[in-house]
Chain A
Amino acid sequence: MLKSIFKYFQHDQKNSNNQVAENPPAQPLPIPSPNSSSIDGYAYIENNKLVVVDPKNYGFYATVIVPDDDRLEFRIDGKKTIGEVVVSELYQIDVVTRGREPSTKRFTRVSEDKLSVSAIVQIETGSSVMLSNSRPSLQTELVIEEYAEEREVEPVSPYAILTLLKEQNFHGEIDYSAIHRLCQLSTSGEEVVLRGIAPSQGEPDHLNQINLPVEKDDELRLTHPSLITAGTIIVDQQLGKEGTPGRDVYGFEIPASQNVKPLTLGQGVIRVNTHIVAAKNGRLIFSKQRIDVVSECVVDHDVTSADGKIVFDGNVIVKGSVLDGAHIHATESVIVYGDVFHSTIYAEQDVIVARTIHNSKVWAGNLKTIYSDLSPLLLRMISGLEKLKEEYLLMKSHVLKRYDAHAVLPKISSVLLEKRHVDLLDDLEFFVKEYQNHLSIDREYQSLSELLCTKWKEVQLTPLLEEDIQNLLSKMKDYHDRIVKITPGISVIRVSNAISSYLNSYGNIFITDKGCFSSNLESKKAIAIRGSLRGGFATAYHAVSVGELGNSYGMESSVRVTSLSGMIKIALRHSNTLVELCGKRDRCYSEENNLYLRGDTINDQNPVSRRLS
C-alpha cells in the first residue's frame, strides 16, 4: 500500500518534471528526482526462506508484509516485527515458522444426577507450517500454509484414565471394557467409565379395603360407608418394600425416594397384624390421607340454644334444623337435614346443610383456618414476652441494688406491662377472648387460656416473676410449633342457600340452589354458586363460579380470587358489580354475559383482561 502511494507520487513527479520545461512551477519540489536508470529492490520467498535484494541507483527498497500469526516469527536484527516493513540485504532477518505438535487431552465429566463419570479423550493431530513461495516483488506478502502431518498419536493408556479417576477421588464401579474401548480409539471419543449406585425406590403399602356396606342418602344425595362396630376389619394391608439408598460418584449417599403419601391412622382404628381394624363403633372414614372410625352423634329433633353448646368428638348429624342461637362444634363433620337459623357451626371436616342458612356463622376446616390466623398473633406475643423478660432482668439488676428491693421486685412486671408493654397485654387479652369459641376443642389452647386468666389477668394484684414469664413464653413457643405443623384435611361446605350469613371453609364452598344473599363467603380453595350472589362478598384462593352476580337493580356485589392462576366465571353479571383477580380489578357498569377470566391469561391481547386495572 505504502509502496503504491510512493509509486504514484513518483509517476506524478515525473509528469510534473516534464511539464516544468513548458510551465516552470512557482516552488521547486523538495524530493530529489530519482534517476531514470534506477532499479528497485525486491524480495521473495523460496523454500521457506526470505531472499532480499537491495535497489540500485536510488530505486525503492523492497517491503514485506508480515501477518500477525502465532505460527510465524519474523525478526529484523533480533526485533520481532509485524505489518509492512522495509527490508534490506544488510539486515539480519530471521523467519521462523512453527507447526503444531500432535496432542492427546484427557478429562472427565460427571452426569447431572451424579451417578456416572465419563472419560473424554481429545486427540489433536499435528501440523507443519511453511511460507508460500512467491515471485520477486517490490512488495511481498508472507502467506502461511499449514500441512497436516500424518504422525502416529501415542494411544491413551488405561492406567492414565484410572489415574485420572483416582486423582479426582471418584467412587463407584469402574467399567474396564469402556476404558479399553476408549484407549483403542484413534480419534476423539467419550465413554462412561465409572458408575455410582442408583437408589432403588420403595414400594408403598398396598391397602385392600374390605367391602363394607354403604349407605345412600337420597335427601342429601350422599353415599357414605355404613356405621361399623369395633373389631371390624377395615383394611387388609400388604406391606410395601423399603427403598435402598444409593451412592453418587463422590461417595455420598442418595436417599431412596419413597413415593408414598403419608397416611394417617386415626384414633378410631388400630393395626392388628396386617389388618387395620375398627377400635370403636362409628362411621368409617377412608380417604387417601386418612383412615379412621369416628363416633357419630345423631340428634333426631331440632337443635336450639336450649340444648346448650354441643361440642362433640366426631360427626354431628341433626335430623331437624338448627335454631335460635344454637352452637355446634364437631371434630368431624356436621350434617343438618333442615335449616340453620341464627346459629354457629364449627366442623373440622365438612358442613352439609340440606336447606338454607340464615343469619348464621359456619366454619369448615375450622382449626387450620383459625391456626393460620393465630400464628402471627402468637409470634407477636412470643416476641413481646422475650422483650418483657429482657427488660425484667435489666430492671431486676437495678432493683437489687436498692435497700427496698424486696418490696419493688414483685412490682416490676406489672409496671413494665402497664407502662411499656400495653400492646402485649392487649394481645394476651385478645388471645383469650377472641378464640375461646373457635378453640373450645383445643386442650392446649384451653390450658394456656386458663393460665392467662388466673395468673396474668390482674397484673397489678398478682406478682409475676421471671419464672412466670419464662413459663408462659415456653408454653407459647410449644403451642406455636404444634399449630404450624398441623396438616389440614379436606373440608367442604355444601348448602342449598345462604342468607345474611358468614361461611368460611378451608376447602370448597358449594351453594347448590338459588344462591346467596347479603352473605360473606371465604374459601381457601374454590366457591361455586349455582344460583346468584347478591350483596356481600365472595373471596376464594383458586376460583369463583357464579350463575348470576348482582341483580338488575344494581345491587353492590363483589368477588375476589387471589391466586395467580385463579379463575372467575360468571354466567350473568349485572351492573355495579366488581371482580378482582390476582389484584386486578374490574367494575361493571352494564350487564354482561358469560364472563370468564383466568389469572394466567391476563394480558393485553385478552379483551376482557384489558379492562382489569
Chain B
Amino acid sequence: MASARDIKRRIKSVKSTQQITKAMKMVSASKLRKSQATVQAIRPFAHKIEDVILSVGSSESSHPFLMDRDKINKVCYLVIGSDRGLCGGFNSNLHRFLDHALAAETHDYDIAVIGRKVKDHCQRMGYPVSFNYTCIGDNPGFYQAQELARIMRTAFERGDYDEIYIVYSEFKSAMSQTPRIKRLLPVQAPEKTAASSKLIDTDYIFEPDREQILDTILPQYVDIMVYSSLQEAKASEHGARMTTMNSATDNASDMINKLTLSLNRARQAAITTEISEIVGGAAALS
C-alpha cells in the first residue's frame, strides 16, 4: 500500500488539475455565450440575403456562381476545425466525418484547412492540403471570413476548383455537435418558404438590373456562408470544451474522494500497527 505521504502528494496534484479544468470550463462557458449570440445575430442577415436572391430571380439567371459546371475536374473541401485540443470528441468526430467524405469522393480533390488540429490530421493521412489558416482566434470577425471567402471565390472563378464544399461542426447544443457538409460554390439556390414567396410577389424596381444585383449579392452570400460556418464551428468547439471540462472536473472530484478514503485507511493502518506494537512491548515487559 502507498504511504500516507505519497497519497497526500497525489491528492494535491489532482486538486490542482481540477482547478485548471474548472477554470477552462468557466472560460469556455463565457466564450460559448458570446459565440452563440453571434450565431444568432447572423441568422436574420442570412435569411434576408436568401430572400433577396430568390426575389431577384436566381432560377433564370446564368450567373457563374449559380451554374453547375458540366465537367468537374477538381473539388475543394474547406474544413473548419479547432487550433487546440482538450475538447473531447470534437476534432476526432470531424476527422472521421472528413475521412468518410473523402473516401466517397470520386473526383480529384484539394483540402483547405482552418485550425491546427485538422492540419495535423490531414498531414498524417497524407491529404493534399492546398491552404491552411491557423490561429483564427476564439471569436473570428467578419473581415476574417471575408478574406477566406475571397480566396475561395477567386480559386473558383479561376477554375482551380469546380466545386467547393465546407465541412464544419453544426452547433446543436453545448452537449451535441454534429459534423456537416454543405456546398459553398456553386451556390445552391435557397429553398422557397412561405415568407419568401410573399416577397417574390412584390413588384420591385430593380436598380440597376437583376444581373448586377446578383453580381453584388452572390459574393456577399458566400461571405456570409463562410462566416456563419466559422461561427458555428467555434460555438461547437467552445460547447464541446465546456462539456469535456465539466466531466473532467467531476472525474477529478471522484478521484479525490477515492484518494482521501485510501489516505484515511492508510493512516488508520499506521495507528493500528503502532498500538499493537506498544501493547506487544508492554506485554513483553511484564
Q: Do A and B come from one complex?
A: no
